[in-house]
Amino acid sequence: MASSYYREALKRRLTSLGEDHPDTLLSQSNLAYLHLKKGEVDTGLQLCRRTLVQRE
């Protein structure tokens, strides 16, 4: 259930702020962390890597 809220927040921030905005990246990072906590390591790491690249 929480993941649906995180995905929705990310979707809205992508639409309104763009993919490189700090708030969008925070939402993306939060979703990555949630995946990692749920044991979905591949998905979590993929999102972490994408977030790090976008922050550079």
d(CA 7, CA 25): 12
pLDDT at 3: 85
* Full domain range(s) for residue 40: 1-6+22-56
Predicted confidence (pLDDT) per residue in 13-34, tens digit:
999 999 999 999 999 999 999 9
Identify the H or E element spanning 18. none
Give the C-alpha separation, 21 to 42, whole Å. Answer: 24
Residue 11 lies in a domain: no
Strands (E), the chain: none
Amino acid at 15: T
Give domain status of residue 17, yes or no. no
pTM above 0.85, yes or no: yes
When divided into structural domains, the chain yields a total of: 1
Examine residue 27 and state whether it is found in any structural domain, yes or no: yes
